[in-house]
Structure 1
Amino acid sequence: MAHSSRDTAEGAGWGDHRPGEYKRLMPSRVEKLSWLDPRTLWPARNGVLASWFGDPTGRTRARWVEQRAAAGAPADAVIRRTDADHFSFMVIGDTGEGDDPQYAVVPGFLKVSQGTDFAVLASDVIYPVGGTDDYGGKFFRPYRDYAAPIYAIPGNHDWYEDLHGFMRVFCAAPPLAPEAAPRRPTRAWLRSLLWHRPGAADEQRLAEARELRSAPSQQAVQPGPYWAIDAGPVRIIGIDTGLLGTVDAEQGRWLREVSQGDRPKILITGSPLYVDGEHHPCAIEGGGTVDDIVRDPGHHYVAAIGGDIHNYQRYPVQVDGGRTIQYVVAGGGGAFMHATHTIPRVRVAQVAEEDFRCYPLRGDSLAFYSRLYGRRLRMRRFFTLTEAEATAVIAQRLGIPPTRAQGTPVRVTPRTRLVAALLGAGGRPDRTSRLRLPVRKAYTQLFSPGSATYSPPFFKCFLRLDVTPSSVHLRCHSATGTLDHEIDPPVEDEVTIPLS
């Protein structure tokens, strides 16, 4: 088994590695997405408009569900897959930028996924706005050789065109008829004037893209943007958290219904419930939260896996009755990397730092961002930290031992401490706190996508889950873009979850 980032720096992808062969999978021309480009920002305005003038996605989602029900989709939105006691499936989140980092995940994904029954894409299938015409290079082509069906839950980016592309590809749904705009000046009227709406899809282009995943074994039509899958001993439930990370009342009612019963359950959501050392229970319109449903001992949830944040995190949370639910973030499937070095020492829901896992490791994240900022600000000599320097300063600031053993001890210099503080490394506030550069919020929303790296290491990841009558074995594999990790994808984390 290949060394992981928890073992060696080489296992993280640092050092002199031969690049992988993922480029042979890519189209000859790839558009590099930039969130600094007004042509990208303006079509992606719907999230901002929804937060300012009210979120219409609940009503739009209801219209999609009504359309699918009229077309014969099961009323309970449950897919019956297999009665086998043993089966396996993949989870990969936030995939579709269509560039080097997304395609670098594919060789390892295909190798690890051999023998699996299906895959789930967890949030943000297509960047920047979920357009139908983008599915060829960002969904059908990269996963053309995955032999089993792929299901998906939408993320906020898939909603930037009112879910038209997502529903067309995954649900075989025709476009929704436009709704009449409000007639008098209201917040909804103003929103409707500014709202970005989908254009007509290129039907020939979509038909050609579908041919890339046209084998009978690859076909599946899901009942809507939220669904449940009964497979062997477990029920997998996927929910749609829309533009703003919430659940509408009708979906909430459905979620409570499909969560009943003794069958163990795994939630897949576009908005993780624990992330960055914080609890985000996910509000349901009309009252209650998604996490209330997950924690209810009568519902028998064993895990909740969320996308949206572009890295891997795991929180084993003890709940009533002495049970442990594994809360996982799994959004590292191809989009630009969200920092982990900004996560403070973990103390949440009785989960301590020693129980917490993340990928990339905080030191690798800091080293990655130091290079990125050094390049962007043209201050490489000042900002760039080696992985050993970054690991050492993270350990000092958080008061924890280094995650992986270091060779020669590294001295933490004033420059190292200053760079770590400027880049928002977790730890106690210091005199530089007010000078922090925008790493976590503004940077990851704007500058990170525009400054994405196109050479290894990439620090991407995906999950494989193997289910038996007694347990679910979850493994997080990394994808760095190096050849040795394509051949033998390292295991960055694994846990066995009992089903009893």
Structure 2
Amino acid sequence: MKSDFSKKFSKPVFKRDVPDDSYKYQPAPKPSGKYPYHLDLETIDSVPDRNKLAFHMVGDTGSIRTPDFQKLVVGEMVKQFEATEKTGYEPQFLFHLGDVVYNFGEASEYRRQFFEPYQKYPGPIFAIPGNHDSDINPDSRVRYNSLDAFTAVFCDTERRTVPFSGNAGRKSMVQPNVYWTLLTPLANIIGMYSNVPKFGVVDEAQRQWLVQELKRADSERPGKAVILCLHHSPYSADVNHGSSIPMIGLLEGVFEETGIYPDIVFNGHVHNYQRFSRHYPDGRVLPFVVAGSGGYDELHPVAYTSDSRFTSELPIFRGVNLENSCDTRHGFLKVLLERTSAGITITVEFYTLPHERRAEPGVNAAMEDRLVLKI
């Protein structure tokens, strides 16, 4: 029989005795577009098949120490774009789950941590901010406001060369706000902004926006799926962060108030892959997927049950199970949407890379996990 020391948690965990860092909260910048902050994918890129859509999703890609792992991840995503055998499920864009740069959201970090690694990525890149993108370096010689650089890269009013990109070919994106919705023919992808503190903060204005966005997206069902994204992970079993009680309270409160649930929730923040299932009393099962192993060199292990710093014995964790995880390899998601006469199918594939800082010839990414949702 294995000892308890060999066992890892199979449920979310709460990390005890974490210092309060709510003082790090930063006011959000003014929107660059009009309420309700929508961007139609087809104004950025054509959609060849309105009944099929595939895209990449990943978070926590930047790194102040080495970009090696990020470059490996990007290289494998590029290979999926360039696959010679066409299936109709070639990725069309990347949706970034936040923490594009570390440790602070300084303009000087974007060239090395974003523009250079992604110079060969052929599709558009959309993003929501992470806590590191939003934080301000107190020792910086250049004065700047929270998310100044992020908004210049992702929330511009027109597509143009970013001044601090090193004259990169990738132009700025025109997202209308730091929280916003990407409209596609098969899904409404709602992206939130959860600020700087370790467990996230969402103000009342954004909460009310989320309520309205869920209602609007629900009105387009069953023709479109509803995908919800935020940087901070509500549920996690890792040793660095653990679960975010504030984000659980926010989402579950909104779901209960509206009676509307997304079809799936994606998060970053935690530097690993985790897939949870949240079981509700009415029989509904909502997947929560953590995809934060996109390049930051330090990965976050899942906690052992013998570690007294963590507990899973909280009422809000009832009905939430960790179905699969990977805390030893970097990777990325490929999300596939297909509409048939029976409805929309969402397929989520998690690909991992061998944990070396070099790429072998050919395809190195291997599918580690796969989830199929019929909605």
Shared fold by TM > 0.5?
A: yes
> Aligned partners of 1:168 and 1:331: how far apart in 2?
23
Return the letter of the residue paired with 2:154: F
Return the letter of the residue paired with 2:54: S
For structure 1, which runs of at least 5 residues remain unmatched after alignment? 1-47, 175-202, 366-458
2:153 touches 2:173 (CA, 8 Å); kept in 1?
no
Q: 1:146 aligns with which of 121, 125, 142?
A: 121
Match of 1:221 in 2: 174
Return the letter of the residue paired with 1:77: Y
Deviation at 1:224, TM superposition (A): 1.3
Q: 1:350 aligns with which of 319, 343, 352?
A: 319
**Is 1:311–2:272 an aligned residue pair?**
yes
Matches within 5 A, 1:90-489: 90-97=56-63, 99-114=67-82, 115-161=90-136, 162-172=146-156, 206=164, 208-209=166-167, 211-214=168-171, 220-244=173-197, 245-260=200-215, 261-262=218-219, 263=221, 264-276=225-237, 279-283=243-247, 289-294=250-255, 298-344=259-305, 348-352=317-321, 356-360=323-327, 365=328, 459-469=329-339, 470-480=344-354, 481=356, 483-484=359-360, 487-489=363-365
> Aligned partners of 2:352 and 2:79: how far apart in 1?
12
For structure 2, which runs of at least 5 residues remain unmatched after alignment? 1-18, 83-89, 137-145, 307-311
> Aligned partners of 1:359 and 1:253: how far apart in 2?
35
**Is 1:74–2:13 an aligned residue pair?**
no
> Aligned partners of 1:223 and 1:105: how far apart in 2?
28
Deviation at 1:148, TM superposition (A): 1.5
Specify whether residues 495 and 129 from structure 1 end up closer, same or farther in structure 2 by C-alpha distance, changes over 3 A only. Answer: same
1:271 touches 1:282 (CA, 8 Å); kept in 2?
no
> Aligned partners of 1:336 and 1:328: how far apart in 2?
20
Match of 1:25 in 2: none
Structure with larger RCO (C-alpha < 8 A, sep 6+): 2
Return the letter of the residue paired with 1:250: A
Deviation at 1:138, TM superposition (A): 1.1
Specify whether residues 295 and 145 from structure 1 end up closer, same or farther in structure 2 by C-alpha distance, changes over 3 A only. Answer: farther
Deviation at 1:205, TM superposition (A): 5.7
Specify whether residues 473 and 318 from structure 1 end up closer, same or farther in structure 2 by C-alpha distance, changes over 3 A only. Answer: same
**TM-score (ref. length: structure 2):** 0.74
> Aligned partners of 1:107 and 1:96: how far apart in 2?
15
Identify the structure with the greater helix proportion: 1
| Cα-Cα RMSD | 2.8
> Aligned partners of 2:211 and 2:362: how far apart in 1?
41
Render the CA deviation track for 1:28-73: whole Å, top value 9, x for unaligned.
xxxxxxxxxxxxxxxxxxxx9x937x3542xx21x422xx2xxxx1
Deviation at 1:265, TM superposition (A): 1.2
Specify whether residues 279 and 138 from structure 1 end up closer, same or farther in structure 2 by C-alpha distance, changes over 3 A only. Answer: closer
Deviation at 1:167, TM superposition (A): 0.9
1:141 touches 1:212 (CA, 8 Å); kept in 2?
no
1:273 touches 1:304 (CA, 8 Å); kept in 2?
no
2:111 touches 2:165 (CA, 8 Å); kept in 1?
no
> Aligned partners of 1:204 and 1:340: how far apart in 2?
36
Match of 2:30 in 1: 64
> Aligned partners of 2:107 and 2:304: how far apart in 1?
35
**Is 1:88–2:46 an aligned residue pair?**
no
1:472 touches 1:497 (CA, 8 Å); kept in 2?
yes
> Aligned partners of 1:306 and 1:108: how far apart in 2?
21
Match of 2:9 in 1: none
**Is 1:497–2:363 an aligned residue pair?**
no
Specify whether residues 239 and 341 from structure 1 end up closer, same or farther in structure 2 by C-alpha distance, changes over 3 A only. Answer: closer
Specify whether residues 137 and 247 from structure 1 end up closer, same or farther in structure 2 by C-alpha distance, changes over 3 A only. Answer: same
**TM-score (ref. length: structure 1):** 0.56
Q: Secondary structure of 2:111's partner?
A: helix
Deviation at 1:291, TM superposition (A): 3.1
Deviation at 1:104, TM superposition (A): 2.0
Render the CA deviation track for 1:114-169: whole Å, top value 9, x for unaligned.
53222111111111111112111211111112222111111111112311110111
> Aligned partners of 2:351 and 2:55: how far apart in 1?
14
How many residue pairs get matched?
Answer: 306
